[in-house]
Amino acid sequence: MALDVKRNSGPPKPRVGNAKSKALAKNDADKRKKPNLAVEMRKRLALSQPVFARLLPVSVRTLVTLEGGSPTTEAVMRRLKEIDRLTEALSEVMKKESLGTWLQNPNQAFDGLKPLEVIERGEIDRLWSMVYFLRSGVAV
């Protein structure tokens, strides 16, 4: 008669996929914790993806991947931070709710250009100058 004997071969061996799945779960949790700056800014400005993509400047397809959580290039991250700082400064001198609309409407202060077009032309300093004068109360 044979006896069924369990052989103890030591501690259980770790599963191969276990560490990888834990790392993926941690990355997912990290993504959920920190807000996506592109998504946050686009929603704050109430801009469509094509219009917001023009601000960065990237293609709409690239913006979709960024909003989906893909890593941001250094150049795009610099631009996001620059636009974020500008919108914070603008919100000190105008209503936050109107920023997106203001960016898309022609403005006589910029020779009839839309502020969005001024940014696209690489002349964001004109907007900073306007913010400076509005903050200081000096009439232009």
Token pair belonging to 137: 């109360």
Of 117, 140, 120, the residue nearest 129 (C-alpha): 140
Mean pLDDT, residues 22-26: 59
Question: For the purposes of burial, counting CB atoms within 10 Å of the CB of 49, is it exposed (0-12), middle (13-18) or buried (19 or more)?
Answer: middle
Cβ–Cβ < 8 Å for 113, 123: no
Query: The whole model's pTM is what?
Result: 0.69
Q: Torsion angle of alpha carbons 125, 128, 134, 136, nearest 10°? A: -100
Encode pLDDT of 103-128 as tens digits.
999 999 899 999 999 999 999 999 99
Q: Which of 19-23, 28-32, 41-45, 116-120 has the lowest mean pLDDT?
A: 28-32
Cβ–Cβ < 8 Å for 89, 83: no
Encode pLDDT of 74-92 as tens digits.
999 999 999 999 999 999 8
Structure letter (DSSP) for residue 14: P
Of 87, 86, 112, the residue nearest 98 (C-alpha): 87
Domain extent listing, the chain: 33-136
Residues in the chain, total: 140
